[in-house]
Structure formats: C-alpha cells, structure tokens
Amino acid sequence: MNPIYFDNAATTPMRDEVVNAIIDVMKNSFGNPSSSHSFGRSSKTLIEKSRKTIASYLNVSASEIIFTSGGTEADNLVLKSAVKDLKVKHIITSKIEHHAVLHTVEELQKDYHVSVSYVNLDSDGCIDFLHLETLLKSEEKTLVSLMHINNEIGNILDLKRVANLCKANNTLFHSDAVQSVGHYKLDLQEIPIDFLVAAAHKFHGPKGVGFAFIRKNSALKPLVIGGEQERGLRAGTESVHNIVGLEIALKTAYDNLDKEKLYVKELKEYFLNKIKKEIPLVAFNGYSSDFKKSTYTLVNVCLPISQKKAAMLLFQLDLKGIACSRGSACQSGSSKKSHVLTEILSNEDLEKPSIRFSFSIFNTKEEVDYVIGVLKEFVD
C-alpha cells in the first residue's frame, strides 16, 4: 500500500483547486492590501471578497469575520481581550478543551486573577448541563468557552443550547469550532453565540490562516498591535494568498457538503464494523462510535494490548506507512498522556494504547482494510 493518512483531525491535504488559487494569487496579486495603488487595491478586493464569501456561509455580516493566523491566535484574541478589555472576571470552561483555550485560561487566571470554573463531564466526556446552569448564576461578569467538537474524541456540543443558556444569563459565549467549520453547517443568526473560531487547514485549506467570528459591537480590542488591518482588530499585513485559499476551501467544502459528508460517514461506519469484527475487545473512547453524539470525521479506539507492547504501536504503524495519532498534534511531542482521555478513562484503560483515526474524502475502504489488518496482526 502507498502511505495512508488517517490523521485529518490534525491537518488535511489541500484540494487541487485551493493550491491552484493560492499559486495564482502569489504570482499575480502580490500587492500589499493596505497600499492605495492598483496593486494594493487588487489584493484588498480579494480579501474583502473572501470575507463576504465566508460570512455568507455562516449567515453573518462580513464585518464580523476577522482573519488570523489560525485557531490558536483567534482563541487568544477572544479570551485575552474579553478579560483585559471587556472586564470578564469569571471563565467557565471544561478540562477537555484544546490547549489553545486551556493554557490561555490558566495564564489569565495567573496574571489577571480571573476565577475559573470547570463544568462537570459525564464518563464519556459530555458536559453536565445542570452543572453549567448552576455555574451561570455567578454574579461576576462571565464568559463561557466550550469547543463545538472535541478534537480527540469527537463529542459534539449542542451549541445552540449553550448559546441560549448564556444569553438567558447575560453571559458571553466563545467556542473553538476548528473541528466543525467546513464539516457542519452553522447558522450564527440562529445560534446566539458571541465568538467562534476556525482554521483553514482542518477543511483542506492552507496552514497559517483562520478567522474569528466576533459579533458586532462586542468592543473587543486587538491582541496584535500595529496597523489598522482587519477592522483594527488584528494588525499586520494580511496573507492574501492564504486568505483566498481559505475562501476556496470553505466554499468547496460547503458546496459539496452533503455528498462528501455521506462518503466520509460511510467510511467511518465501515471502519467501526470492520474493527469490531477483527478485534472484538476493542473499545471506543468518548462517544466516538456514536454518529448522533460524535462527529463523522474521526474515531478514537482503545486497543486490548499490554502497556509494554503499546509503547511500540505508533512506531510500528508508522513503519507500515500509516499516519494516525494519540490525540492532538499540538502535544504529540509530549510524553504526557492525553489530558482529554485522562479525564474520562479509568487508570486501567489509560495504560492501554488509544489511537485517533480521522478520515477525509481522500481516504478509501481499501485503506481501512489495510490499517485494520495491521492492527489485528499487532494485537494478535
């Protein structure tokens, strides 16, 4: 088999049409978009067209889309400005958020003495809504930060329910939607959320570009200081080719969503059935085997092998040409166990290897057969 890439939750391969659009912009639209001459105006026009396209798919105003270098910067922009500029004194989050949120919140707690509450989770990693409602009764100015789709176990948060709860309690709501934008339709007029972030490389776009949706009149201030780019909310010359790549990737994803979602969903279903047949003692972390409660793009499996053998698993898979991961790519160099799985698994299951397999339209059932064959051979 050719090398097999089952790590699409970490990043995705770019579509050909995205690559072609980026090359065209780099060759022909190299002007600084802040310049007043024709070269600059041409670049500025491309950025504003991209902004309008992205806004249209989320049903928001173009002025509410702010381009960033990716999801991490967008999360930092929202969280830090909410504390420094909006005077938020209390943050409600969970212990299984992406580290772009968790570490930022920890820093804000240390430097600004913000109080932090962690909402309770069930044994599969879903939030306790009754506990969330209790936490929302705080008299301090509060912001809730909960991700839409968990990047390790795929659990889906009911965004609309949380947004309505926050609105009813006069609370700001921010969501890291990096794993859902481009994979799920989101109407932000129906979902009264204040802040939402996305990254292009999660839906077959380029790395190094993303955006923050910032509800108008939010009074947020910039994290990066300098010029007046991005409505004064993000200084620095915009990466025009990456922004256009983001636009084309998002447009292509949403224009083909129904067909491509069905294909990937069937691929995940095939993977689940095949692995349960070949490795009967396999377990699934979180709700990753449940199509109603988890995303169709990934599955997180716990394999029935010893700790000693588990240490060699990813290495052996890599030797066989299979790319997958223990969890978030942002912590792959760490020797620590996944903070997500640590919250929901027993000590016994934590000693077993858990692997995340994440799929895209570029994967096939033949690849699934090969991967599960290699897993079965290793387990046996």
Same domain, residue pair 229 and 90: yes
Average pLDDT over residues 317-342: 78
- Taking CA atoms, 324 is separated from 339, 354, 355, in Å, by 18, 11, 7
Q: pLDDT tens digits for 198-215?
A: 999 999 999 999 999 999
Same domain, residue pair 213 and 297: no
Same domain, residue pair 118 and 150: yes
Same domain, residue pair 208 and 333: no
Identify the CATH number of the domain in which residue 373 sits: 3.90.1150.10
Band (pLDDT 50/70/90 cuts) for residue 327 is low
User: For residue 176, is pLDDT > 90?
Assistant: yes
Beta strands, E only, the chain: 4-5, 65-68, 90-93, 115-118, 142-145, 172-176, 195-199, 210-214, 283-284, 298-302, 322-323, 354-358
Same domain, residue pair 63 and 211: yes
pTM above 0.85, yes or no: yes
Pairwise CA distance, residues 114 & 104, whole Å = 11
- Return the pLDDT at 335: 54
How many domains does the structure of the chain reveal? 2
Domain boundary, last residue among 207, 229, 255: 255
Domain boundary, last residue among 233, 255, 277: 255
Tell the residue number behind the tokens 């921010």, with chain if given: 174
- Return the pLDDT at 371: 97
Write the single-letter amino acid at 68.
T
Q: Is 324 a catalytic residue?
A: no
Same domain, residue pair 132 and 216: yes
Same domain, residue pair 357 and 372: yes
Proportion of the chain above pLDDT 90, given as a percent: 89
Q: pLDDT tens digits for 31-76?
A: 999 999 999 999 999 999 999 999 999 999 999 999 999 999 999 9
Domain span holding position 229: 16-255
Proportion of the chain above pLDDT 70, given as a percent: 97
Burial class (CB in 10 A: 0-12, 13-18, 19+), 267: buried
Band (pLDDT 50/70/90 cuts) for residue 307 is confident
Q: pLDDT tens digits for 215-260?
A: 999 999 999 999 999 999 999 999 999 999 999 999 999 999 999 9
Average pLDDT over residues 259-269: 98
Same domain, residue pair 54 and 179: yes
Same domain, residue pair 219 and 287: no
Domain boundary, last residue among 216, 233, 255: 255
Catalytic-labelled residue, pool 126, 166, 324, 330: 330
Candidate from 311-320, 329-338, 354-363 with smallest mean pLDDT: 329-338
Q: How far apart are the first and last CA of the chain?
A: 21
Q: At what angle do helices 365-379 and 257-278 cross, to 10 degrees?
A: 30
Q: What is the DSSP letter of 306?
A: -
Task: Give the mean pLDDT of the chain.
Answer: 95
Average pLDDT over residues 342-367: 94
User: For residue 330, is pLDDT > 80?
Assistant: no
Same domain, residue pair 309 and 236: no
Asked if 205 contacts 277 with a C-beta cutoff of 8 angstroms, the reply is: no
- Taking CA atoms, 301 is separated from 154, 288, 331, in Å, by 12, 8, 18
Same domain, residue pair 345 and 222: no
